[in-house]
Amino acid sequence: MKILAIESSCDETSVAITEKRRVLSNVVATQIAEHKLYGGVVPEIASRRHTEAITGVCREAIRQANISYDDIDAVAVTFAPGLIGALLVGVNFAKGLAASLSVPLIPVHHLRSHIAANYIGSDLKPPFLCLTVSGGNTIITEVKDYTSFNPIGGTKDDAAGECFDKVARTLGLSYPGGVTLDKIATAPDEKRYPLPIPHTEGKYDFSFSGLKTAAINLIHNCSQKNEEIDVPVLCATLRHRVAEILTDKTITAAKDLGYSTIALAGGVSANSELRKLLSAACEENGITLYKPELKYCGDNAAMVGVGGYYEYLSGNIGTLDLNAAATMPINYR
Ligand code: KG4
């Protein structure tokens, strides 16, 4: 079964052709260079660029997969959550394509697709516990089956990626800040740059807003005193603190709930310190860890196609009145 999958939830226009867990093509047109000028994603610009890019990206995905439109058995699309104008471009394109080809339309939840990135080229099967960390979400989910999810904890304020991006912007680093911060970070120094460990009521919940503010205040204090900041060391200290918090809570949840398999997902799953700390903690606790390949960590349509395949098997088929939604819980139905 060949699926043409579409992703347009934020600043990447992507179309992929997938077959079960296999990726035949995955074309991504990124808008990062343009949003960089503004220090963050400008939603209106994102929607316009998706509109301009989507037809060409779709053609290229079909060309690279060496198939024709007649070979497509279903169209999968990210319908929520994300930037509403951006999502609408993908959803409407998908509806038109599915209707004209007379094939099923499969709505795919963005966070579910990030989790599905772990199925690409791997033998991972539910049940497992998944830590999904992106620019807008930080959530621990029990993946009970391919389309059955139980969120057990999440951020009460900022997402981990948002914390990285905002501190990086204050340091004058280029967008997307998390990526730049990870690249230039050296060794952490917690004595020089003490950063708090946030307290949360829920055992598996997160809070990154206080940590973000503490880092930003530290930067402002230094500049008021004309003290030079060692940017690579501060980046490494923040990166380590965030990775430590994410790792500790995820391992605690896995041990409490008896999971011997953990998966990591979302844009921040590319973070080198998080990958390192979580790998080491899993090894120490006899837990098997699955991490997506770096090219499938950020937004891409391959993960939408693979996740969409399982949604299709479970009967989650959309109709032509499918709408996009800016917010949607992962366990929607
Ligand atoms: O999942 P994603 O591509 O988009 C959504 O938010 O859905 O995640 C983007 C986030 C941004 O905050 C970006 O700074 C962060 O992922 N990110 C990273 C790294 N790569 C991407 N943060 C830290 N280290 C990285 N290597």
- Supply the CATH number for residue 259's domain: 3.30.420.40
Whether 329 is covered by a domain: the verdict is: no
pLDDT at 320: 96
pLDDT at 225: 96
For residue 298, the CA-to-ligand 1 centroid distance in Å is 6
- Probe residue for ligand 1, chosen from 31, 36, 134 as the CB with the greatest number of ligand atoms within 8 Å: 134
Confirm if 51 and 85 have CB atoms less than 8 A apart.
Answer: no
Confirm if 60 and 16 have CB atoms less than 8 A apart.
Answer: no
Spatial separation of the C-alpha atoms in residues 68 and 320, rounded to whole Å? 23
- Express each pLDDT in 258-278 by its tens digit: 999 999 999 999 999 999 999
Global pTM value: 0.97
**pLDDT above 90 as % of the chain:** 98
**Angle (nearest 5°) at CA 91 between 95 and 290:** 115
Q: Count of domains in the chain?
A: 2
Judge if 97 and 146 occupy the same domain: no
Q: Is the CB of 7 under 6 A from ligand 1?
A: no
**pLDDT above 70 as % of the chain:** 100
Residue 298 CA: which ligand 1 atom is closest? 3
For 6, 98, 179, 240, 328, the CA distances from 323, given in Å and listed in that order, are 15, 15, 32, 40, 12
For 67, 69, 166, 317, the CA distances from 102, given in Å and listed in that order, are 17, 11, 45, 13
pLDDT at 102: 98
| Cross-strand bridge partners of residue 263 | 130, 290
Confirm if 108 and 303 have CB atoms less than 8 A apart.
Answer: no
Whether 184 is covered by a domain: the verdict is: yes
Q: Is the CB of 278 under 6 A from ligand 1?
A: no
Spatial separation of the C-alpha atoms in residues 51 and 296, rounded to whole Å? 23
Judge if 29 and 77 occupy the same domain: yes
pLDDT at 288: 98
Residue nearest to atom 11 of ligand 1 (CA): 135
pLDDT at 308: 98
φ and ψ at residue 80, rounded to 5 degrees: -175, 160
The stretch 289-304 carries a mean pLDDT of 98
Strands 128-133 and 105-109: unpaired
Residue 90 carries which side chain, given as an amino acid letter? G
Residue nearest to atom 22 of ligand 1 (CA): 178
Whether 193 is covered by a domain: the verdict is: yes
- Probe residue for ligand 1, chosen from 114, 133, 164 as the CB with the greatest number of ligand atoms within 8 Å: 164
Judge if 91 and 138 occupy the same domain: no
- Express each pLDDT in 286-296 by its tens digit: 999 999 999 99
Spatial separation of the C-alpha atoms in residues 17 and 29, rounded to whole Å? 15
The stretch 93-111 carries a mean pLDDT of 98
Judge if 100 and 142 occupy the same domain: no
Judge if 106 and 187 occupy the same domain: no
Q: Is residue 333's pLDDT more than 90?
A: no
Q: Is the CB of 11 under 6 A from ligand 1?
A: no
Q: Is the CB of 158 under 6 A from ligand 1?
A: no
Residue 183 CA: which ligand 1 atom is closest? 26
**End-to-end Cα distance, the chain:** 24
Strands, E assignment, 187-291: 261-265, 288-290
Judge if 180 and 304 occupy the same domain: no
What distance lies between CA 131 and its chain's CA centroid?
A: 10
Q: Is the CB of 296 under 6 A from ligand 1?
A: no
pLDDT class of 255 with cuts at 50, 70, 90: very high
pLDDT at 80: 98
Spatial separation of the C-alpha atoms in residues 149 and 161, rounded to whole Å? 22
241: containing domain: 125-291
Q: Is the CB of 134 under 6 A from ligand 1?
A: yes
Residue 161 CA: which ligand 1 atom is closest? 12
Judge if 107 and 176 occupy the same domain: no
Tokens of 332: 């929607």
Q: Is residue 29's pLDDT more than 90?
A: yes
Judge if 149 and 110 occupy the same domain: no
Q: Is residue 185's pLDDT more than 90?
A: yes
* Cα Rg of the chain, angstroms: 20
Judge if 35 and 100 occupy the same domain: yes
Lowest mean pLDDT among 105-109, 122-126, 134-138, 190-194: 134-138
